[in-house]
């Protein structure tokens, strides 16, 4: 296995996924849940993100070509989805435990597009396209799994912070996470628009 390529893929995806930055959003979304449900949401989100990234690594370009979808469109769609989640956090609609469904939270927005977002998907697809031989593919696969394990560890043991913050702290954290999530969403949409403009200019 190519250890240099493993390191490159691992560091790149770890920076894109940003587990420490994910923690406040994860706590805001799962704050009202029990510790057991929060832990279950953590592994479900990581499992889904791993599955999505692997699928796009193997057949991502083929799938997008078949659907006639450009990568910027995928990026913009992820941004719009995050805007909806951010609005729920900012307006307090995500605070009602009766409205929380663990599997839904784990799948959307935690699993995708937060963990398996456009950035991680595109980076993985590029690494796979540049890979040459079984050794390179093994290094990429091992790096993806290692990143997901690191993310799971961070999310799994973030529950201790909930006990420290108490309900009042969680409410403040929720509003801050909503603002950060809104900023991430706007940046995704802006990058997608810029990519579309660049494509249009190059075509003309």
Q: pLDDT tens, 49-80?
A: 999 999 999 998 898 889 988 878 888 888 88
What dihedral angle (degrees, nearest 10) is formed by the CA atoms of 15, 26, 186, 95?
Answer: -170
Q: Are 204 and 115 in contact (CB under 8 A)?
A: no
Name the least confident of 82-86, 120-124, 167-171: 167-171
Residue 157 has pLDDT above 50, yes or no: yes
* pTM of the predicted model as reported, rounded to 2 decimal places: 0.77
- The whole-angstrom separation of Cα 129 and Cα 144 is 15
- Start-to-end CA distance of the chain, whole Å, equals 44
């Amino acid at each position: 296995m190519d250890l240099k390529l493993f390191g490159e893929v691992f560091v790149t995806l770890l920076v894109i996924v940003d587990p420490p930055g994910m923690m406040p959003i994860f706590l805001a979304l799962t704050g009202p849940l029990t510790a057991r449900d929060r832990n279950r949401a953590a592994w479900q989100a990581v499992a889904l993100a791993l599955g999505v990234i692997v699928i796009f690594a193997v057949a991502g370009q083929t799938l997008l070509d078949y659907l006639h979808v450009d990568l910027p469109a995928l990026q913009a769609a992820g941004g719009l989805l995050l805007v909806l989640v951010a609005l729920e956090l900012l307006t307090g609609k995500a605070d009602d435990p009766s409205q929380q469904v663990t599997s839904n939270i784990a799948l959307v927005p935690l699993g995708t597009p937060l963990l398996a977002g456009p950035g991680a998907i595109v980076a993985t697809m590029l690494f796979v396209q540049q890979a040459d031989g079984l050794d390179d593919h093994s290094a990429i696969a091992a790096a993806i799994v290692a990143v997901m394990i690191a993310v799971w560890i961070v999310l799994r043991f973030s529950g201790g912070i909930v006990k420290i913050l108490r309900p009042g702290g969680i409410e403040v954290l929720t509003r801050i996470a909503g603002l950060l999530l809104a900023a991430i969403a706007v940046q995704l949409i802006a990058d997608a628009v810029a990519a579309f403009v660049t494509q249009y200019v190059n075509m003309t």
